[in-house]
Amino acid sequence: MMDNMPKDKELILFDGVCNLCNSSVLYVIKRDQNNRFLFAPLESETGQAVIKKFNIDTDAIDSILLYKPKNDKIFFKSTAALQVGKHLGFPLNLASIFFIIPTFIRNWVYDYVAKNRYKWYGKKDACMIPTPELKSKFLS
């Protein structure tokens, strides 16, 4: 499944029932001018394959992962978000400056938002179903 993924794309894995995560995915799609990103819910077959391959503890990391098949690397939490943001053009690419902040501090802030995301933004009963126009950007 992961072997079939184009090497020139990057895969964003997200919490498919989280309203904040779904809104973020739509935000990225709208600004992904180079068609760089594909998407899959963590709960999907693709998501589970990545989680298994990298032996990811989903109790510790349950919101965003970025998989780069070109160099077979995985990024998570704040680093994944910043890696995505740097490819979304001005002004979001300026967020790359936050890479100078130590990861443990960035992830503390990230974890705080992630821990409260359902309370603040709500939760769906099922994963988002992409519209027919967006279906090609999603892996199952």
pLDDT above 70 covers what percent of the chain? Answer: 87
Mean pLDDT across the chain? 85
pLDDT tier at 117 (50, 70, 90 boundaries)? confident
pLDDT, tens digit (0-9, with 9 covering 90-100), for 76-97: 999 999 999 999 988 888 888 9
3-state DSSP call for residue 74?
A: strand
CB 68 within 8 A of CB 76: no
Domains of the chain in start order, with CATH, are 2-137 (3.40.30)
pLDDT at position 125, please? 64
Q: Span 105-120, mean pLDDT?
A: 88
Q: Span 132-136, mean pLDDT?
A: 70
| Residue 99 reports pLDDT greater than 80 | yes
**CA-CA distance, 12 to 40, in Å (whole number)?**
6
pLDDT, tens digit (0-9, with 9 covering 90-100), for 24-51: 888 899 899 899 999 988 888 998 999 9
CB 10 within 8 A of CB 40: no
